[in-house]
Amino acid sequence: MHDDSSLTLCQFTQISSNSNYPTIGSWQRYTQGTKLRVAVIGAGVAGIATAWELTTDGHTVSVFDKASGIAEGASFASPGWVGLAGLTGWDSVSPNWPKKVGPGGLTTSAGWWGRSGTRRWLSAMKQYNTTAQQTALFATSLDLAALSVDRLRQTLSQPGVDVERSQGIMVLMRSDADVAPYASGLQRLKDREIKVVELDPAGAKKLEPGLSDDTVPAARWWLPEDEIINGRQWLSLLKTDAMRRGCVFQMNTSVITLHAGGRLTLQTGSQPRQEQVFDAVVVCAGHQGAALLGDVGLTLPLLNMNQCVLSAPIRDPHFAPVSGVFDAGHRISITRTGQRIRASSATGIWPGQDAEPVFKQLYQVLNDWFPGSASLHGVQSCAQAWQTTCAFTPDGLPLVGASGTPKIWLNLGFGAKGWTHAPGAARLMANLLKGGPTPEQLKGLAPSRFG
């Protein structure tokens, strides 16, 4: 990034109107308020986006992460689908799992169901399982995603800013049975005037020439405005820009204890523990946030589940996806970032549960749609099977705003939509810290909604 571009990165205008995406009215940067000394806990997508927004607002920001590099938690190896409509539209917003089995139909271990908090979480989730609730959640999700897309595009449109990215996601339905569960999502998108194109086989092949001729979908939908980005590249760009503006990143530094009043007990490597006090602490600690907040007596309604991704180098670019496809029936996305292909499952599994069936399915689905595209086997392949933990709220939306304990703020619980929601949530968080109002459309993100 050039110095010129870093100057213009902080110019915050209204949401761009060059797409069919919805706008959030007159949403803009809130410029009043005092400048604070702020600690951000976590350097995943939520933490880095938050640190960047706060730094561009003029605050003095320190980021702490126990890992040695950025984006080493759930934000590592993401398929990078930042589609505004994709994840929010095709999925119900809350995970809608069958009663006697785990998410996505995988059987859970009996022991897990007995764990404290899980039943409470599940019963809270069921409250959202009405059409009216889902419609309201979808609207909030879409508005937050629209804000995220705006933040992404603003940073990525600067001269000299180069991140691997591609445009458009194709949703593939193997059978009519796959189409039915997505009908309401499709309708919701159409109601919000999100562009969805129904493709014929030739149209699909034109957009994705590597698609197999042997696996014939029953339906194909194209979301031209969804995007695939190399998320880690984007985050390192934001980190560099934030540092240039004075933000300090303290890696290898664990927040051992979070105290009321903005005090942190920190440990860097094997050095002696130290304490620092801040005007505000923003907790962006992903699935580890709930444990940390327990220190100040806060109980968060977060459920931890693992998600799996298979990543492999491209073997033959002619057979590889140009952008990304989503196998609706299996809830698996296949995306291309740079020289790698990623197949990722939206099916959550309990931490500790056998992930083998999910990885088998990822290999199978990748092979069904893009056979021969990835170097999956042999010593040269560098294929990686990876899983990590994401924290889900019962309504599927993140917790963004005041925690209820003085000086402690929350920006976590992104579930499977961190890339889609966190850039927008970061801007909301920054406005709230300045004492700005929450736009009507985003009031559903307040942590206080769970009591």
Binding site for ligand FAD (CB under 6 A): 41-47, 64-67, 72-75, 78-79, 81, 87, 254-255, 284-286, 288, 292, 307-309, 333, 344, 388, 390, 412, 414-420
Instruction: Output 76 or 203, the one with its CB closest to ligand FAD.
Output: 76
315 SS3 class: coil
Residue 4 DSSP symbol: H
Are 343 and 365 within 8 A, CB to CB?
Answer: yes
Q: What is the Cα 59 distance to its own chain's centre?
A: 25
Reference 231, options 3, 427, 44; nearest CA is 44
User: Measured from the CB of residue 408, what is the shortest distance to ligand FAD in angstroms?
Assistant: 13
123 SS3 class: helix
Instruction: Output 75 or 393, the one with its CB closest to ligand FAD.
Output: 75
Instruction: Output 159 or 343, the one with its CB closest to ligand FAD.
Output: 343
Instruction: Output 199 or 355, the one with its CB closest to ligand FAD.
Output: 355
Order of strands across the sheet with 324-327? 197-198, 219-229, 165-173, 324-327, 332-337, 340-345, 303-313, 384-392
| CA distances to 117, 272, 289, 304 from 295, in Å | 17, 20, 10, 18
User: Measured from the CB of residue 314, what is the shortest distance to ligand FAD in angstroms?
Assistant: 18
Reference 340, options 358, 366, 301, 379; nearest CA is 366
101 SS3 class: coil
User: Measured from the CB of residue 234, what is the shortest distance to ligand FAD in angstroms?
Assistant: 12
Instruction: Output 336 or 417, the one with its CB closest to ligand FAD.
Output: 417
User: Measured from the CB of residue 70, what is the shortest distance to ligand FAD in angstroms?
Assistant: 7
User: Measured from the CB of residue 384, what is the shortest distance to ligand FAD in angstroms?
Assistant: 11
Instruction: Output 28 or 96, the one with its CB closest to ligand FAD.
Output: 96
User: Measured from the CB of residue 65, what is the shortest distance to ligand FAD in angstroms?
Assistant: 4
Residue 270 DSSP symbol: T
Are 303 and 133 within 8 A, CB to CB?
Answer: no
State the Cα–Cα distance between residues 198 and 200, nearest whole angstrom. 7
User: Measured from the CB of residue 291, what is the shortest distance to ligand FAD in angstroms?
Assistant: 8
Instruction: Output 111 or 272, the one with its CB closest to ligand FAD.
Output: 272
Residue 395: Cβ-neighbour burial (10 angstroms; 0-12, 13-18, 19+): buried
Instruction: Output 28 or 257, the one with its CB closest to ligand FAD.
Output: 257
User: Measured from the CB of residue 107, what is the shortest distance to ligand FAD in angstroms?
Assistant: 21
Take residue 90 and report the two structure tokens written for it.
Answer: 């095709």
The residues with which 275 forms a beta bridge, in sequence order, are: 265
Residue 272 CB contacts under 8 Å (≥ 6 apart), including other chains: none
Instruction: Output 100 or 353, the one with its CB closest to ligand FAD.
Output: 353
389 SS3 class: strand
In the chain, % helix, strand, coil (3-state, to 5) comes to 35, 25, 40
Are 208 and 334 within 8 A, CB to CB?
Answer: no
Are 247 and 56 within 8 A, CB to CB?
Answer: no
Instruction: Output 297 or 378, the one with its CB closest to ligand FAD.
Output: 297
Are 84 and 194 within 8 A, CB to CB?
Answer: yes
State the Cα–Cα distance between residues 86 and 228, nearest whole angstrom. 11
User: Measured from the CB of residue 32, what is the shortest distance to ligand FAD in angstroms?
Assistant: 28
User: Measured from the CB of residue 136, what is the shortest distance to ligand FAD in angstroms?
Assistant: 20
Take residue 354 and report the two structure tokens written for it.
Answer: 């056998």
